[in-house]
């Protein structure tokens, strides 16, 4: 499925428009002939970009380029804002170009702090009003707001631990898990590292991701495994080890439970 500029932009002179999803429903795989900036404000779900799944939760930000395909599944009260834009039609100060994905983006996405999210939500609301006004003035206002938005998203990246709130620390833990899933660790060890108690961390993870710490970790590992099953020639056993399981039978059981398919069937 391909979504086109004409279906979303009121006319071809507009560079930016918004589609607020409260909630975002499951949505099948598609691409667009415009760029998309996605900002999640609450809930959870799986976002599959170019066949690679990633879990979504509040304060997650990422860009989708016209080369990409993506879909949403397993959504649970997922609220997000789509900022649709045509890069070529934007008049951006040269330096700001670096804040937009260059060519093929890496899709990693990032989390912003709760404090940044408040400013961002406000900008999105104002932007949403401007982009739906017909006047030329509104186009310039929309472009100015878009510039503020991308700077805010950039500098809103999670702050160092000492200054972080409990919510922000939890998001940092989720990012840490996504980077260290191949290691062995307990919730206690992770909680210590982020100066939280195990109880608080477990409660916060549940609140933000709608999953337990263990299930979240399994999900991250299985997501990575899906990537390796599709894009590498490694054996299922090697993949199990690579994503953090010391027992490949256990890996296959978990995989089947989450995906309703064995790793080799999926491959």
Q: Which residues bind ligand RM4 (CB under 6 A)?
A: 3, 19, 21, 24, 27, 32, 36, 82
Shortest distance in whole angstroms from residue 22 CB to ligand RM4: 11
Pick between residue 23 and residue 134 the one whose CB is nearest to Ni ion: 23
Pick between residue 73 and residue 98 the one whose CB is nearest to ligand RM4: 73
Pick between residue 9 and residue 213 the one whose CB is nearest to ligand RM4: 9
How many Cα atoms are found within 13 Å in the side-chain-facing hemisphere of 92?
21
Shortest distance in whole angstroms from residue 77 CB to ligand RM4: 15
Q: Is 248 exposed, middle or buried (0-12, 13-18, 19+ CB in 10 A)?
A: middle
Q: What is the largest CA-CA distance in the chain?
A: 62
Pick between residue 18 and residue 113 the one whose CB is nearest to Ni ion: 18
Shortest distance in whole angstroms from residue 68 CB to Ni ion: 9
144 backbone dihedrals φ, ψ, rounded to 5°: -65, -40
Cα separation of 25 and 132, whole Å?
A: 23
19's contact among Ni ion, ligand RM4, none, with CB below 5 to 8 A by partner kind, is ligand RM4
Burial of 197-212, coded b for 16+ CB within 10 Å and e otherwise, reads: eeeebbebbeebbbbe
21's contact among Ni ion, ligand RM4, none, with CB below 5 to 8 A by partner kind, is ligand RM4
Shortest distance in whole angstroms from residue 16 CB to ligand RM4: 13
Contact 39, 124 (CB under 8 A): yes
- Give the residue from 124, 65, 263 showing the smallest Cα distance to 132: 124
Contact 55, 75 (CB under 8 A): no
Pick between residue 85 and residue 181 the one whose CB is nearest to ligand RM4: 85
- In the chain the first and final C-alpha atoms are separated, in Å, by 23
Shortest distance in whole angstroms from residue 64 CB to ligand RM4: 7
Residue ranges that bind Ni ion, judged by CB under 5 A? 36
Cα separation of 137 and 61, whole Å?
A: 28
Tell me which DSSP letter residue 30 carries. E
115's contact among ligand RM4, Ni ion, none, with CB below 5 to 8 A by partner kind, is none
Tell me which DSSP letter residue 109 carries. -
Pick between residue 36 and residue 57 the one whose CB is nearest to ligand RM4: 36
139's contact among ligand RM4, Ni ion, none, with CB below 5 to 8 A by partner kind, is none
Shortest distance in whole angstroms from residue 165 CB to ligand RM4: 28
204's contact among ligand RM4, Ni ion, none, with CB below 5 to 8 A by partner kind, is none
């Amino acid at each position: 499925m391909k979504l086109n500029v004409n279906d979303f932009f009121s006319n071809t002179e507009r560079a930016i428009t918004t589609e607020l999803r409260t909630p975002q429903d499951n949505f099948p795989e598609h691409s667009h002939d415009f760029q998309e900036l996605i900002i999640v404000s609450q809930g959870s779900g799986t976002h599959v970009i170019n066949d690679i799944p990633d879990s979504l939760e509040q304060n997650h930000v990422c860009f989708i380029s016209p080369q990409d395909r993506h879909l949403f599944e397993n959504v649970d009260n997922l609220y997000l804002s789509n900022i649709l834009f045509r890069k070529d039609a934007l008049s951006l100060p040269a330096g700001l170009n670096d804040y937009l994905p260059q060519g093929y983006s890496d899709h990693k996405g990032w989390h912003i702090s709760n404090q940044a999210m408040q400013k961002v939500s406000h900008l999105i609301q104002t932007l949403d009003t401007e982009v739906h006004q017909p006047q030329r003035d509104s186009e310039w206002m929309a472009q100015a707001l878009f510039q503020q938005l991308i700077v805010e998203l950039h500098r809103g990246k999670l702050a160092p631990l000492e200054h972080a709130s409990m919510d922000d620390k939890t998001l940092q833990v989720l990012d840490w898990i996504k980077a260290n899933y191949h290691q062995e660790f307990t919730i206690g060890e992770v909680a210590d590292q982020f100066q939280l108690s195990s109880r608080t961390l477990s409660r916060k993870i549940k609140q933000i991701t709608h999953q337990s710490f263990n299930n979240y970790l399994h999900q991250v590992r299985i997501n990575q495994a899906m990537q390796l099953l599709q894009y590498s020639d490694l054996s299922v056993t090697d993949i199990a080890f690579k994503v953090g399981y010391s027992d490949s039978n256990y890996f296959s059981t978990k995989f089947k439970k989450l995906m309703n398919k064995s790793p080799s069937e999926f491959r």
